[in-house]
A and B are shown apart, each in its own frame.
Chain A
């Protein structure tokens, strides 16, 4: 179980780092108060011990299960959709809901439908319908503030 050795080592390091970081906090409200450092130390200790346990289990061969290894094609598709999510976040931040949502809804439709099933006009109507529905539910009915763009 090579993966568990690596995962265990990473968790052990994160646990130690969080304990070390928490130890830099020196604030106490009362004499008997353990202060704000206690809880991160508590959590970091559990994490470090679990990381160590995973490593030891993997070394003695007691670890079970296997980590899924995506194929090259799965990596490519996963990366494409992840980049689209990031792009939606950035465009939403810069241009706001009313520009980002129709554009990115269409792009997501275009990519997810694939070459055989996509129709441009259907995608355009679908993007407009999604944008309008969200506007009506959140903006008009619930009267909440929809994302406004930094540049608008």
Chain B
């Protein structure tokens, strides 16, 4: 307890608290700009921490990360362009809410959910890290593959079109993810001799293409001039009624647990959790037909889960020294640069660092809440910008964004190609969410599929016989056949109930 208080005293130093506040705001801005993210901010500002004490340096990096994950929803809700993969599912209902004139309500829901997700996940991480981390060690490649496959099939089966459309979109994502050097042996696949394809397709051009450029092409083709007017005068508090909040209690708790669980699985993270939580929210909803048309439940689910992954991802990083996602990998690098070895011994060797990490995330969560609460009435001002000003700016950001990450002009080709693919998929009614999820998870799925087969002499059998893996694969199979099996069962049940009623 004394160590926790001494860490808190360091963090409450005026200079440190100012650094945390500025870093949080910077993270929100980076998260909100399509193509950038809090993760990029962490990478870019890592060298700045060299001259700081380990607690202050880490506080700055953690604040940018927390701000980035929370800020990513601004672009998703107001422009339909996710600031980062962690808020892709927020676009599905957040942007339709904006189109229905409910931008502030969507932002309010997202802000509350973001805060709750970060705050409670950090509290859990703070007190249960060693215990939960031990659980993660029990899982092998079989479970990781099955979890990823289950997530994809769940999202695919819940698409508005048929299961075939959803799974076909996911398969296209998996095929695109297999371009480039294969994991384990580095064999070049589908590269057609091009050195630019050896590393596979970059995620940024894919996201910018299928969301930003595709949106601009369709809006211009359909002669959309401006987003609908948003009335901010009648909004009280966060713009969300208590009834809406209470109605979503189950949804919030379930999505939070999904985010926390996925966040702490190494290699997963918020990019997956928001999709799975969204799919689960839709599957469990009493009104699934409202999803995708501006349903607040979808915004709650996506935003609480991606922020719960913040605390979740810190658990394996702190307790095991294993990064939960790309950003925690950079944070882990930051710890090492400061001479700190993450892992089970960190709690005994450097407890002040452990508490500094958790307390910073908590302080940062409050700053995010504060900044976004006052900003939520200002953010929709972006919607007042006519499209002939807004869209050229977004196009420039998309082209520059795909270049800065890799410094290769080949990414322009990918950006344009993915925009074209997005338009074809729109015409063919192939949903974007399973496609994107499969593309993100593809490398992890392949690595664990091959590892799982290689580790034993039993081939693919352990995928089905290990309890957790088998359960997840059964859930995946059920989610695929359910849309075909359930309607006739429901008709029969209704018929039987009607017969009983008449009798």
Contact = CB atoms under 8 A, between A and B. Distances in A.
Interface of A: 3, 7-8, 11, 14-15, 18, 21-22, 25, 27, 29-30, 32-36, 38-40, 42-44, 46-47, 50-51, 53-54, 57, 63-65, 67-68, 70, 74-75, 77-78, 80-82, 85-86, 88-89, 92-93, 97, 101, 104-105, 108-109, 112-114, 117-118, 126-127, 130-131, 134, 138, 142-147, 150
A38 B449 contact: yes
Contacts, number: 195
B396 A77 contact: no
Contacts of A80: 220
Q: Is the interface on chain B under 10, 10 to 19, 20 to 34, or 35 or more residues? A: 35 or more
Contacts of A101: 396, 400
B352 to A, nearest CB: 31
A112 to B, nearest CB: 4
B185 A29 contact: yes
B222 interface: yes
A57 B399 CA distance: 40
Q: Is the interface of B mostly helix, strand, loop or mixed?
A: helix
B162 A54 contact: yes
Nearest to B213: A85
A54 B412 contact: no
B42 interface: no
**Which residue, B164, B178, B386, B409, has most C-beta atoms of chain A within 10 A?**
B164
Given A33-B453, A40-B175, A85-B395, A77 B220 contact: yes
A18 B457 CA distance: 28
Contacts of A64: 161-162
A50 B445 CA distance: 20
Interface string B374-408: 00000000000011110111011101100110010
Task: Give the interface SS of chain A, mostly helix, strand, loop or mixed.
Answer: helix
A109 to B, nearest CB: 5
Contacts of B182: 36, 39
Report which residue of A104, A105, A144 has the largest number of chain B beta carbons within 10 angstroms of its beta carbon.
Answer: A144
B453 A68 contact: no
Given A33-B450, A46-B171, A51-B164, 10 more contacts: A8-B164, A32-B454, A43-B171, A44-B171, A50-B167, A54-B165, A78-B220, A81-B220, A97-B400, A101-B400
Contacts of A74: 221-222
Given A29-B184, A112-B220, A57 B174 contact: no
A134 B395 contact: no
B415 interface: yes
B427 A68 contact: yes
B187 interface: yes
A56 to B, nearest CB: 9
Nearest to A3: B428
Contacts of A88: 395, 399
Given A47-B171, A64-B161, A89-B399, A108 B412 contact: no
B349 to A, nearest CB: 34
Nearest to A11: B168
Closest 3 CB pairs of A and B: A36-B182, A43-B174, A47-B171
Given A46-B170, A53-B164, A92 B454 contact: no
Contacts of A57: 162, 164
Contacts of B185: 27, 29, 33, 35-36
B419 interface: yes
Contacts of A22: 189
Nearest to B183: A36
Nearest to B223: A77
B124 interface: no
Contacts of A150: 409
B454 A105 contact: no
B172 interface: yes
Contacts of B416: 85-86, 89
20 contacts: A3-B428, A15-B171, A27-B187, A30-B454, A32-B454, A34-B453, A46-B174, A51-B164, A64-B161, A65-B160, A78-B217, A80-B220, A85-B217, A92-B412, A93-B412, A105-B396, A112-B392, A130-B393, A145-B403, A145-B407
Nearest to A34: B453
A117 B225 CA distance: 11
B446 interface: yes
A79 to B, nearest CB: 9
A32 B399 contact: no
A40 B454 contact: no
A29 B447 CA distance: 14
Interface in B137-188: 160-162, 164-165, 167-168, 170-172, 174-175, 178, 182, 184-185, 187
Contacts of A134: 396-397, 400
Contacts of A126: 389, 392
